[in-house]
Structure 1
Amino acid sequence: MNAYQAANQTAEIAFNSLQAPFFAKNHAMDELEAITQSRDAKTQRLREARHAKEQADQAAATSALLAKRYPMR
């Protein structure tokens, strides 16, 4: 190995040691973004399910009230 190859190898090692934390940070940010998107999607699904249940409960209560007020003969 000549002096140029040794210097080149040393430079590559130094560069890679600087790049590793940068790529790790990007990977961590991607993971956090995925977690956030998953949480937001779950929140939206739960919100929609709650609204559907509230509407069903309201419709059932209205039907019960009408049945009580106007009984079938």
Structure 2
Amino acid sequence: MAGGMEVKKNKFVEEWGAARENLEQNFRWSRRNLALCGIFGILVPYLVYKGTVRDFHMQDEDAGRPPRKFIF
């Protein structure tokens, strides 16, 4: 569209983009990766669920209703 406006590539951005595109070939399981998957894949969702259920049970208690049934 606009003539004479060449794009100047940033070396670091290009390297990061290439590494992101090839992540599945370069990924290695380690203790740290396993711990992060456990924390953010299991522990955090579980704590959010338990907090939500607790909030609903407190609302039921304040309203004088029996607690609702949930998964756990």
**TM-score of the alignment, normalized to the shorter chain, above 0.5:** no
TM-score, normalised to structure 2's length?
Answer: 0.45
Q: Which has the higher contact order (CA 8 A, sep 6+)?
A: 2
Task: Point out the structure with max Rg over C-alpha.
Answer: 1
**Greater helix percent: which structure?**
1
